[in-house]
Structure 1
Amino acid sequence: MATMTAIKPITKIATRDSYGNGLVELYKEHDDVIVLDADLAAATKTGIFKKAVPERHYDCGIAESNMMGIAAGIATTGLVPFVSTFAMFAAGRAFEQVRNSIGYPHLNVKIGATHAGISVGEDGATHQCNEDIALMRTIPGMVIINPADDIEAKAAVKAAYEHDGPVYMRFGRLAIPIINDNPDYKFELGKGTILREGKDATIIATGLCVSESLAAAEKMAQNGLDVAVVNIHTIKPIDKDLIIEMAKKTKRIITVEEHSIIGGLGGAVCEVLSENCPTPVLRIGVNDCFGHSGPATALLQEFGLDADGIAKKVSAYLK
């Protein structure tokens, strides 16, 4: 009689939850951590940290630009501030303060930006920040991390602390699958990882699009397409060597991101390849338009950022 193999259940966690839990874990090892929030602790999940360490959490009110200035001042004392709000407000509303008060003096401030991309859902276009990576990439010395799951998000918090200088971390509202639960997983700033080998093309993805790209690659395999998948969690500094290596191996590159195709992962990859290894690139993301209100999963499907949509676009491109 054949023995049935148990199917491992898929665990889904929003990376904003991982951020809150990661801050608590970090403080257990480093008591110089300070957390600031802009009246959104319940949403950004810094409330998890506030409950565990109330004396190290400060609510700056709905004054995000002022909060960045406060964080800059705290950083000059030797403490390590993690400043948190929605991506639209962290990268958008407070851009000048991030640039001039944090980036220009290269202060040790860590920005935890949650609710990025169209998966913010019902909050609509005003809150669906699809431009934050592009904005942060222009600030000299700014490190940008966009984790793909719970494990990577917690690792990002620790790596951000260990890095001396400003860091922008991008977290999401939607619960997404855990894909890095293996004993060999290692997080290293500026280094991407090959999650799936392939010979026909390479998908380079970031954030929640990584798990969707893996699922898309499996769908395409059923139709005879062998597509590699690379996870780029650090947008800046980007893993140039890995990008060039995969371009040489598979000859065609597809980037997938929950962000505008202008200035984000797609732009960064194209810059690397145009200068070092000219290669055809298909950029999949938000195509120079605003989002709109709707359920997160429905929006991802509408914008072609779910597994089916990615598989359809890549298959058409390769044919």
Structure 2
Amino acid sequence: MGADANKKPRLTTSAMIASIASEGQRTEAAPFGHALVAAAQQDSRIVGMTADLSKYTDLHIFARDFPERHFQMGMAEQLLMAAAGGMAKEGLVPFATTYAVFATRRAYDFIHQVIAEENLNVKICAALPGLTTGYGPSHQATDDLALMRAVPGLTVIDPCDALDTAQAVAEIAAYNGPVYMRLLRGKVPLVLDQYDYRFELGKAKLLRGGKDVLIISSGIMTMRALEVAELLGDGSADVAVLHVPTIKPLDEATIIEECRRSGRLVIVAENHSTVGGLGEAVALALLKARVHPEFRQIALPDAFLDAGALPTLHDRYGISTATMAANIRVWLG
């Protein structure tokens, strides 16, 4: 047998997880799981925890390589957060994974009181953020950023793609403090490697310039914003894209600097309710700085959303590439 025969197979992800990637788009399988393994190889304090969802948060990849550092807490998200806090008190670095709706709605008090109030070094990585599932309101975390932004001392991250996710894992593993990160799992699109991008905690990054429109975005909406910029590059508009992967603390200085440039329509695009997310955070920062550009918001409605196929829902609620481009053309007149 050759040397390769002794190598472990590279696990990818569950076939039951739908991808948000477009047909033919480049993807990477399970970037969170593989990045956590890489971080754990460098730091023996890292442990992986979940509430009966290892396969659906890509934590099963970590569990294979580090079974003694993997903790299955069962369908008990409050226990998951409380136990993660206890492990952090003992000097470990727990990465606690579940779905975003369960982490933020069901376990909110435990995040607030057990983890954040004591500034414990827990990393909450929550899958299915915003409208990334068609299962309806029970699984659509359209309010998670609003809830987590309200927790004092909690860092909040919304990565765009596989590269962003992997780099963010490495940074939050090294950062001492509680973190909530929206988790992209399964076959995750890969786009930011084309823009000489590097994730930096607390920093917004201008991915491309443009004189007509500035789209300020986070998460998968940065991918959409870049697609819109290409579509409108046919002569309709010259679109700049500012990616904001850290929602809290917000890089107000960079946002204000870009919004001070006169003559551009400023649009905040987010995979979240219009209430309490990136749009409101940016609007407040501009108001305090007395910067008043023409301002629009692309976000999910303040409503319970329908169940269905994701492409249909993204069109219906205005966060698909085609719908975004059409609305921007109207706004530009």
C-alpha distance in 1 between matches for 2:294 and 2:111: 35
Match of 2:26 in 1: 11
Please say if residues 58 and 186 of structure 2, whose CA atoms lie closer than 8 Å, have aligned partners that are also in contact.
Answer: no
C-alpha distance in 2 between matches for 1:233 and 1:166: 16
Shift of 1:175: 4.2
TM-score normalised by length of structure 2: 0.89
Match of 1:228 in 2: 240
Equivalent AA in structure 2 for residue 191 of structure 1 = K
Matched, 1:314 2:322: no
Deviation larger for 247-256 or 266-275: 247-256
Equivalent AA in structure 2 for residue 214 of structure 1 = L
Equivalent AA in structure 2 for residue 45 of structure 1 = D
> Among the aligned pairs, what percent are the same residue?
37
Change (3 A) 1:245 1:189: same
1:52 to 57, 65, 69: 65
Structure 1 residue ranges (4+ consecutive) displaced by more than 3 angstroms after TM superposition: 172-176
TM-score normalised by length of structure 1: 0.93
Match of 1:115 in 2: 128
Shift of 1:279: 2.6
Shift of 1:116: 1.2
1:158 to 159, 170, 180: 170
Shift of 1:31: 1.1
Match of 1:278 in 2: 292
Could you tell me which runs of 5 or more consecutive residues in structure 1 were left unpaired when the two chains were aligned: 1-8
C-alpha distance in 1 between matches for 2:169 and 2:211: 34
Change (3 A) 1:174 1:309: farther
Shift of 1:10: 3.5
C-alpha distance in 1 between matches for 2:198 and 2:55: 30
C-alpha distance in 2 between matches for 1:271 and 1:318: 24
Matched, 1:36 2:49: yes
Please say if residues 165 and 184 of structure 2, whose CA atoms lie closer than 8 Å, have aligned partners that are also in contact.
Answer: no
Could you tell me which runs of 5 or more consecutive residues in structure 2 were left unpaired when the two chains were aligned: 1-23
Give 3-state SS (helix, strand or coil) of 2:55's partner.
helix
Matched, 1:299 2:324: no
Change (3 A) 1:21 1:171: same
Matched, 1:66 2:79: yes
Shift of 1:32: 0.7
Please say if residues 32 and 184 of structure 2, whose CA atoms lie closer than 8 Å, have aligned partners that are also in contact.
Answer: no
Query: Counterparts of 1:171-250 in structure 2 under 5 Å?
Result: 171-172=183-184, 175-182=187-194, 184-250=196-262
C-alpha distance in 2 between matches for 1:78 and 1:280: 48
Shift of 1:13: 3.8
Shift of 1:280: 2.7
Please say if residues 119 and 174 of structure 1, whose CA atoms lie closer than 8 Å, have aligned partners that are also in contact.
Answer: no
C-alpha distance in 1 between matches for 2:254 and 2:48: 34
Change (3 A) 1:115 1:306: same
C-alpha distance in 2 between matches for 1:203 and 1:93: 33
Instruction: Count residues with an aligned counterpart.
Output: 308
Shift of 1:199: 0.8
Shift of 1:119: 1.6
RMSD of Structure 2 on Structure 1 (CA): 1.5
